[in-house]
């Protein structure tokens, strides 16, 4: 496993621990906490944690292209009293950092920035006794989103198999007062922030067999009541990822902190010279995503749904210590309620480093 010069941190963890969470469903406008390359992939967690005192940081960007519904389709849904909307694209970027409290416990934080281009929505109204169904241009929406804090605790760290539990909280740091081009306050689902406090729980499992790695994870987010008396739907995601490592493998011990002692001994005796090598991994993920219906006041909206995604990608670890991960997400099955469009694809890129 390749390492940063002068640190104990494997560089395949620097992007993993950008947020230590997994990508939430992209059905709605709020992606929630997002993982950036957990293990060797992007949307599935690994159970790995940082070593005590180590710090990592990174940047991630996700571009989601929704199905482009016509004005006629939006107006037809408005006639059914469904306020359906569309955007040209949704862009979710995030910066994050992680700290190893102990060898088994890592605390991570992630702050997103969101942008929705050309937001438009179908509306149903009555004017002078006449029913009007029309598409309203709401404009572009962008701003800082909600901060997520996640703790990951590794329970099992055996030879070839690992298991960890996660718990955290999404906090209402994002703006909830953005306005449309006409000056009206946008609904909470279109805001950069939600105004709600959302607990998060999850688990991750990992196994290795030579150059082949398997990671599996699950995450659930409980949505609290937020701005404008709105409670967005709860969210869940589960996934599995397979990866294959290419490049020079570094032999080291990873159980019980023995590699610390070995590294210190080699340093003291000067018996071994350390070499850095570039390497890369190819991976494929399969993830299932579910989102519950949102509730505004006492009214339950025609939102939420479920989908299955397959995401092939690759990760490059440079000898200088940077890690770059990219993936293309393809929805192979979707059952989305009509207020939100289906998604055509999503592209994700992440860059990380350790300090």
pLDDT by 10-residue block (mean), the chain, 355 residues = 38 43 47 46 88 92 96 94 94 94 96 96 84 93 96 92 96 96 94 97 94 95 96 95 79 42 43 64 96 93 94 90 91 96 96 85
CB-based contact 196:172 (threshold 8 Å): yes
- Cβ atoms 223, 293 nearer than 8 A: no
Task: Please tell me the predicted confidence (pLDDT) of residue 207.
Answer: 95
Q: Which pTM does this prediction carry?
A: 0.83
Q: Residue 191: what pLDDT? A: 96
111/145 Cα distance (integer angstroms): 7
Domains in the chain, ordered, with CATH?
11-65+87-115+143-354 (2.40.160.40)
- Partners of 152 in the β-ladder: 106, 166
- Distances in Å between the Cα of 144 and the Cα atoms of 91, 94, 174, 311, 349 are 12, 9, 5, 27, 19
pLDDT of 275 reads: 52
- Helix, strand, coil distribution of the chain in percent, nearest 5: 10, 50, 40
Q: What is the pLDDT of residue 43?
A: 87
pLDDT of the residue at 40: 58
pLDDT at 30: 55
């Amino acid at each position: 496993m390749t390492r940063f010069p002068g640190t104990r941190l494997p560089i395949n963890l620097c992007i993993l621990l950008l947020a230590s969470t997994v990508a939430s469903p992209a059905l709605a406008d709020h992606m929630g906490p997002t993982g950036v390359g957990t293990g060797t992939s992007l949307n599935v967690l690994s159970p790995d944690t940082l070593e005590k005192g180590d710090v990592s940081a990174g940047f991630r960007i996700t571009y989601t292209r929704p199905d482009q519904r016509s004005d006629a389709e939006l107006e037809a849904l408005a006639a059914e009293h469904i306020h359906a909307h569309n955007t040209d694209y949704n862009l979710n970027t995030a910066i994050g950092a992680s700290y190893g409290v102990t060898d088994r416990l890592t605390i991570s934080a992630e702050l997103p920035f969101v942008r929705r281009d050309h937001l438009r929505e179908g509306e149903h109204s009555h004017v002078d006794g006449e029913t009007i169904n029309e598409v309203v241009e709401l404009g572009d929406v962008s701003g800082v989103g909600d901060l997520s804090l996640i703790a990951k605790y590794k329970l099992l760290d055996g030879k070839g198999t690992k298991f960890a539990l996660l718990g955290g909280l999404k906090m209402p740091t994002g703006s909830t007062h953005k306005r449309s081009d006409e000056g009206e306050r946008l609904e909470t689902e279109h805001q950069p922030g939600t105004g709600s406090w959302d607990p998060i729980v999850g688990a991750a499992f990992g196994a290795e067999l030579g150059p082949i790695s398997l990671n599996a994870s699950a995450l659930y987010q409980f949505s609290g009541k937020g701005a404008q008396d709105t409670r967005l739907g709860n969210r869940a995601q589960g996934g599995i990822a397979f990866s294959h490592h290419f490049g020079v493998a570094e032999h080291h011990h990873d159980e019980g902190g023995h590699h610390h002692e070995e590294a210190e001994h080699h340093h003291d005796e000067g018996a071994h010279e350390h070499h850095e090598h570039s390497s890369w991994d190819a991976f494929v993920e399969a993830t299932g995503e579910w989102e519950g219906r949102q509730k505004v006041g006492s009214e339950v909206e025609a939102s939420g749904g479920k989908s299955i995604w397959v995401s092939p990608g690759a990760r490059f670890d440079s000898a200088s210590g940077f890690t770059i991960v990219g993936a293309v997400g393809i929805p192979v099955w979707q059952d989305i309620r009509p207020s939100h469009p289906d998604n055509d694809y999503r592209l994700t890129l992440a860059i990380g480093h350790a300090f």
